[in-house]
Structure 1
Amino acid sequence: MALKWEEVVVDSRDPRALGLWWRDALGWVVVGDGADEMEIAPAEGANPTLFFGAVPEEKLVKNRLHLDFVPDDQAAEVERLLNLGATRVDIGQHDTPWVVLADPEGNEFCVLAARPA
């Protein structure tokens, strides 16, 4: 038996706005756009995707699952994401080599330090 990772589903109050934010943050493309949902992918036909679906409630607590990203230049990438509308988040990480940010709906994600070539 084999599993193929298809998508990550993100609950959202405004799937279109959040999906477009992540599209811009990641440089991905929209592969699905409906009244209460949006799906983005690294490229047309590529997986996994991020699927944003509408829910009525606001996010209330820290995510149990989050995404980590490795940029070429951590400081530049954090600044770019902040300029797009991300916010810095303190989840008790203290002195760490990664930066915790949140998207416009409060979903936490980490920008790790660049990896050596």
Structure 2
Amino acid sequence: MNLNGLSVASAAEIYNLRPADIYLVHDDLDKALGKVAVKLGGSARGHNGVRSCISALQSSEMTRLRVGIGRPEGDVTVSSYVLAPFSAGEQERLEQVLAQAATFLLEHVLRRAPVRDPGDGLT
């Protein structure tokens, strides 16, 4: 996951996408579980997967959908926390969070989509 930028850059090249055309969906330790936000460009804020994408695309212009997972409590390391399975309570909440994130993302994409002329030959 920390090297996902290589795959994202490869897909961008294949589909002729600019960094501004790309949406990154990623977990966010600084947001509580269930909080979702869109961030336009900017730094990786310590997220290795986002950092990899910025490096591989040589740009930070991607739109990010940040899905909160909260921070670990106690002596749990961040890497152990993000790789651990969700608890039963978190699993129950996860379905709602994912539906909210998908709706949020779709609404954002539709607001950004260019209006096409029916006679332009595009399908």
> TM (normalized to structure 1)?
0.29
> TM (normalized to structure 2)?
0.28
- Choose between structure 1 and 2 for higher RCO, CA contacts under 8 A separated by at least 6 residues: 2
Whose radius of gyration is greater, 1 or 2? 2
- Structure with greater strand share of residues: 1
